[in-house]
């Protein structure tokens, strides 16, 4: 196959799927290559956060994607002495969804794949490994060959070689990503993990004791710590550190997992059915960049982390949400290509927070000595219990700044999403108005904005939403938000982050102008306007 497309995506996990769905629904020509012959079909991630759940409202049918999901309200931390020492408080809403959800990953992937399949401009090529990537005058030439069930390229005739030329290439192809290495992006390893862990997934066939179908906890045992959590409705998992003397072949046996489940967790073996048991090691690493020319990387290729914050797949899908709207505007000729520079500046630092935070959590779970374990437990007790780390806002990108150059209030934070009333129905805002920028206000702004601004806002797909006039604030989300921050207007981005807030008509116009300055038309188009 020889063809030219807008975007080639390498890797069809959650991040590649999110990017293909969001871009594909905008009509762009996309080819996706994945080295495996078919979807994995088993869960890897077990936690999804609210902002990514909001993106799934647009990348899929969210009812399908979030089927069998459960709110995760608390993560318990049990010390080396067998007593609870602390917890993560997740009992709140974020972007219109519970801040964290336990889920069955195949539901999410299947829902995005079904949405993607509705777009004939997107081709998904399973069982194709990228073997060459090079820049030419008219774009990037991507060469692939057939691959086997383990994802390795196999000997093939020239007829089986596929070559695609793309304006942009995005590598979402995992921690050992080919695309990253092909364009010379280095990786900073923050920690070399020598220990091995064994992850086991189970289906629940009989009700579990002690509400274990809903509880999440870390057992911070000094010799063999472990993690326990649901994987959505009717599923649970353990993640256990192997002892240095453990034999991998022996530990991989199903019987060993069932024995551990009975002995340490308190679940009788006849209450579950094993669906997966896998030995693996962690990675804690960050790429030194996320762009070379018109080649981008994201997901584990850019930032691989331990699972202790439940953020690996979430960060990957945030990458896709960020890059998709910027590529869309550039490909449609609505914004200058320079806005793509902000992908790396926004996503790299933000993701690094989670890599470092999950590494800190790993060290908390795995102290080097009994003295360190005792110190950790004492610290957890001294905090009053809740040790939830605050998540920082985005920085260094397309965000509102005040006259003194400082970031405006709430700029870069996750935007609220409330339930609104319209036409006799109450739904989450995005389910009513759709994907894109949202200018939400209690004020009538059109006259003050004027025709020229309104035309440009319409070009960029900015939805203008007047609370109290177009929609009722059914659950008071916007009244509470505006009251808390002393604002009347909120401008949010397609990737569900706040561009900025404003108070009053004049301040709202300045807020819009700030966005339009940061999303300039392409130079040749601007010159003609």
**Is 419-528 CATH 3.40.30.120?**
yes
Return the CATH fold of 2-70+98-190+284-357: FAD/NAD(P)-binding domain (3.50.50)
Mean pLDDT (the chain, rounded): 94
For 380-430, list the strands marked E by DSSP: 419-422, 425-428
Rounded (5°) CA angle 293-524-338: 30
Question: How many other C-beta atoms are found inside a 10 Å radius of the C-beta of residue 279?
Answer: 14
Burial zone of 166 (CB within 10 Å; 0-12 exposed, 13-18 middle, 19+ buried): buried
438 bridge partner residues: 463, 492
Hey, is 189 helix, strand or coil?
strand
Question: How many other C-beta atoms are found inside a 10 Å radius of the C-beta of residue 193?
Answer: 16
Q: Which CATH architecture best describes the domain 197-280?
A: 2-Layer Sandwich (3.30)
Record the tokens describing residue 248, joined without a space. 């991998």
Q: pLDDT digit of tens for each residue in the chain (529 aa)?
A: 568 999 999 999 999 999 999 999 999 999 999 999 999 888 888 999 999 999 999 999 999 999 999 999 999 999 988 899 989 999 999 999 999 999 999 999 999 999 999 999 999 999 999 999 999 988 999 999 999 988 888 877 767 899 999 999 999 999 999 999 999 999 999 999 999 999 999 999 999 999 999 999 999 999 999 999 999 999 999 999 999 999 999 999 999 999 999 999 999 999 999 999 999 999 999 999 999 999 999 999 999 999 999 999 999 999 999 999 999 999 999 999 999 999 999 999 999 999 999 999 999 999 988 999 999 888 888 887 788 888 999 999 999 999 899 999 999 999 999 999 988 899 999 999 999 999 999 999 999 999 999 999 999 999 999 999 989 999 999 999 999 999 999 999 999 999 999 999 999 999 999 999 999 999 755 555 5
pLDDT of residue 2: 61
303 bridge partner residues: 286
Q: How far apart are CA 445 and CA 37, in angstroms?
A: 52
What are the CA-CA distances from residue 130 to residues 4, 44, 160 (Å)?
16, 23, 13
Q: How far apart are CA 76 and CA 473, in angstroms?
A: 35
- The residues spanned by each domain of the chain are 2-70+98-190+284-357, 197-280, 419-528
Query: Comparing C-alpha atoms, which of 450, 467, 427 is closest to residue 512?
Result: 450
Question: How many other C-beta atoms are found inside a 10 Å radius of the C-beta of residue 265?
Answer: 19
Helix (H) or strand (E) holding 56: helix 50-59
- Using the structure block, give the residue that is written with the tokens 């989300």: 477
Question: How many other C-beta atoms are found inside a 10 Å radius of the C-beta of residue 69?
Answer: 22
pTM for the full model? Answer: 0.96
Question: How many other C-beta atoms are found inside a 10 Å radius of the C-beta of residue 215?
Answer: 17
Q: How far apart are CA 320 and CA 351, in angstroms?
A: 13
Q: How far apart are CA 298 and CA 414, in angstroms?
A: 20
pLDDT of residue 525: 57
pLDDT of residue 524: 57
């Amino acid at each position: 196959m020889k063809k030219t497309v807008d975007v080639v995506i390498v890797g069809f996990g959650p991040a590649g799927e999110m990017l293909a769905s969001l871009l594909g629904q905008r009509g762009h020509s996309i080819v996706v290559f994945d080295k495996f012959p078919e979807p994995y079909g088993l869960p890897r991630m077990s936690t999804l956060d609210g902002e990514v759940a909001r993106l799934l409202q647009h990348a899929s049918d969210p009812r399908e994607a979030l089927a069998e999901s459960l709110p995760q309200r608390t993560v318990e931390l049990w010390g080396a002495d067998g007593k609870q020492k602390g917890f993560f408080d997740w009992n709140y809403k974020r972007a219109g969804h519970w801040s964290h959800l336990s889920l069955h990953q195949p539901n999410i992937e299947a829902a995005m794949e079904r949405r993607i399949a509705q777009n004939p401009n997107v081709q998904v090529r399973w069982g194709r490994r990228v073997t060459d990537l090079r820049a030419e005058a008219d774009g990037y030439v991507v060469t692939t060959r057939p691959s086997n069930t383990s994802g390795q390229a196999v000997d093939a005739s020239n007829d089986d070689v596929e070559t695609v030329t793309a304006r942009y290439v995005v590598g979402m192809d995992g921690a050992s990503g080919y695309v990253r290495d092909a364009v010379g992006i280095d990786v900073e390893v923050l920690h070399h993990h020598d220990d091995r862990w064994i992850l086991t997934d189970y289906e629940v066939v009989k009700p579990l004791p002690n509400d274990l179908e809903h509880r999440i906890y870390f057992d911070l045992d000094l010799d063999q710590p472990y993690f326990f959590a649901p994987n959505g409705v009717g599923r649970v998992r353990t993640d256990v550190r192997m002892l240095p003397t453990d034999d991998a072949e022996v530990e991989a046996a199903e019987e060993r997992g069932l024995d551990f489940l009975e002995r340490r967790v308190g679940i009788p073996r006849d209450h579950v059915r094993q669906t997966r048991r896998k030995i693996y090691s962690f990675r804690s690493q960050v790429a030194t960049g996320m762009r070379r020319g018109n080649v981008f990387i994201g997901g584990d290729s850019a930032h691989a982390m331990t699972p202790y914050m439940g953020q690996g797949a979430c960060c990957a899908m945030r990458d896709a949400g960020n890059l998709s709207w910027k590529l869309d505007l550039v490909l449609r000729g609505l914004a200058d290509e320079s806005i793509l520079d902000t992908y790396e500046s926004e996503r790299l630092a933000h993701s690094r927070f989670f890599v470092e935070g999950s590494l800190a959590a790993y060290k908390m779970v795995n102290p080097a000595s009994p003295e360190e374990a005792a110190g950790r437990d004492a610290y957890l007790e001294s905090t009053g219990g809740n040790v939830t780390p605050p998540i920082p806002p985005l920085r260094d990108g397309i965000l509102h700044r005040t006259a003194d150059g400082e970031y405006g209030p709430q700029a870069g934070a996750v935007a609220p999403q409330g339930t609104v009333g319209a036409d006799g129905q109450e739904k989450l805002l995005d389910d009513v108005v759709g994907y894109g920028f949202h200018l939400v206000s209690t004020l009538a702004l059109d006259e003050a904005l004027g025709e020229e601004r309104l035309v440009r806002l319409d070009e960029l797909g900015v939805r203008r939403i007047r609370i109290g006039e177009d929609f009722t604030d059914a659950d008071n989300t916007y009244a509470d938000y505006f009251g808390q921050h002393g604002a009347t207007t909120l401008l949010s981005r397609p990737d569900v982050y706040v561009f900025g807030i404003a108070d009053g008509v004049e301040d709202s116009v300045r807020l819009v102008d700030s966005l339009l300055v940061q999303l300039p038309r392409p130079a040749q188009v601007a010159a003609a306007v």
